[in-house]
Amino acid sequence: MPADLAAWARGGGPPQPYALLADRDDGIVVRCGDTVAKAHAADSDRDALALRVRLAGAGALAGVLLPPLRTGSVRGRPASQWPYGAPVDPERPGDAPWEEAGRLLAALHRTPLGALPVPVPPMRGPAKLARALRSLPAACPPRAPAGLAADAAAVRAAARTLPAWARGEAPPPPGGVLCHGDLHLGQLVRYPAPEGPWLLIDVDDLGLGDPAWDLARPAAWYAAGILAPEPWLRFLGAYRSAGGPAAGPPGSDPWPQLDAAARALTVQTAARALAKAARGRRGPDGVERLMVDACDRMASLPADLESAAPP
């Protein structure tokens, strides 16, 4: 499949080397020269995906989202091609663009829906959480390390403390803004590479939803002790200063708005971690253990305290 995707990306041109950037069920990504091609998940909602790709090219989102080059199909899977942008350097964590991420999210969330060329489909965050929870029964196969079953039970218990909409079991709250749906530092690139401005990439989850969802992963990492206070405060401060609507004004407590989404991303991350650990027939590693422990704390909190403290 990667070779077929690379051939499609060349558009009939002469063969050239390609680099496999990702090979997962939810997407295969290759780089060919100065472009990147993605074969999206085979079970993608193609109509919704087409809308999301068109939104990425909308003039109202210039300077926020990387625009697409073209779309097509590769071996029955929807495919898209994009300009290559330089990603965040994992070897230089001190240079991570937390402020830029906050400003880009604020700009995305403030985009007037009436300025967009097509209807905005729902943001896929809650659906992805539901999918992660469905993976939990497979997280405890025969000969799995001791303790995985108890960890999975803790994650399920934490999930039960979430609002039904966050688990994908009920309609989302009314209203909403344009959200990225899967924000992390791997979703930012510099374009034109290597020194252009930072832009957001990956529109598979883009859509209308609660803007708190886009702040939820960094918030969950901060609450679990994975992300240090300094980058969290830089990210949050940049988002607020740029007028982002999800965390209250500067100086206020952000957790009343971020709590449900941060707990949801904690559950999702822990569920995925346990599934990955079980496939490797191992226990959770250090970071994974922090997320599972956060779920254990969430499940033990009295109901009236759940919205008063980070997970």
Give the domain-ending residue among 84, 108, 127: 84
Domain boundary among 84, 107, 132: 84
Note whether residue 66 is domain-resident.
yes
Task: pLDDT band for 93, please (50, 70, 90 cuts).
Answer: confident
At 120, list the tokens: 């905005």
pLDDT at 308: 45
pLDDT (0 to 100) of residue 296: 93
Residue 59 lies in a domain: yes
> Does 271 lie in the same domain as 142?
yes
SS (H, E, C) the chain: CHHHHHHHHHCCCCCCCCEEEEEECCEEEEEECCEEEEEECCCCCHHHHHHHHHHHCCHHHCCCECCCCEEEEECCEEEEEEECCEECCCCCHHHCCHHHHHHHHHHHHCCCHHHCCCCCCECCHHHHHHHHHHCHHHHCCCCCCCCHHHHHHHHHHHHHCCCHHHHCCCCCCCCCEEECCCCCHHHEEECCCCCCCEEECCCCCCEEECCHHHHHHHHHHHHHCCCCHHHHHHHHHHHHHCCCCCCCCCCCCCHHHHHHHHHHHHHHHHHHHHHHHHHCCCCCCHHHHHHHHHHHHHHHCCHHHCCCCCC
| pLDDT at res. 11 | 83
Range with the poorest average pLDDT among 38-42, 55-59, 141-145, 155-159 = 141-145
Query: What is the sign of the dihedral through the CA atoms of 51, 52, 53 and 57?
Result: positive
**pTM greater than 0.75 (yes/no):** yes
Q: Check whether residue 108 and residue 210 sit in a common domain.
A: yes
Q: For residues 13 and 80, state if they share a domain.
A: yes
Q: Where residue 141 sits, what CATH number does that domain have?
A: 3.90.1200
Domain range spanning residue 75? Answer: 2-84
* Overall number of domains in the chain: 2
Domain stop point among 66, 84, 102: 84
Can you tell me the distance from the alpha carbon of 10 to that of 79, in angstroms, rounded to the nearest whole number? 13
Token pair recorded at residue 225? 């002790």
What is the pLDDT of the chain when averaged over all its residues? Answer: 91
pLDDT in tens, 244-275: 999 999 889 999 999 999 999 999 999 999 99
pLDDT digits (tens, 9 = 90+) for 58-74: 999 999 999 999 999 99
Closest Cα partner for 32 from 42, 46, 21, 43?
Answer: 21
Let me know whether 301 and 188 are in one domain: yes
pLDDT at 122 > cutoff 50: yes
Assess if residue 280 is contained within a domain: yes
pLDDT value for 114: 96
Which pLDDT score is estimated for 143?
A: 62
Least confident of 82-86, 142-146, 194-198: 142-146
CATH number at residue 24: 3.30.200.20
C-beta pairs of 155-158 under 8 Å, 24+ apart in sequence: 155/267, 155/270, 155/271, 155/274, 155/292, 155/295, 157/295, 157/299, 158/263, 158/266, 158/267, 158/270, 158/294, 158/295, 158/296, 158/298, 158/299, 158/311
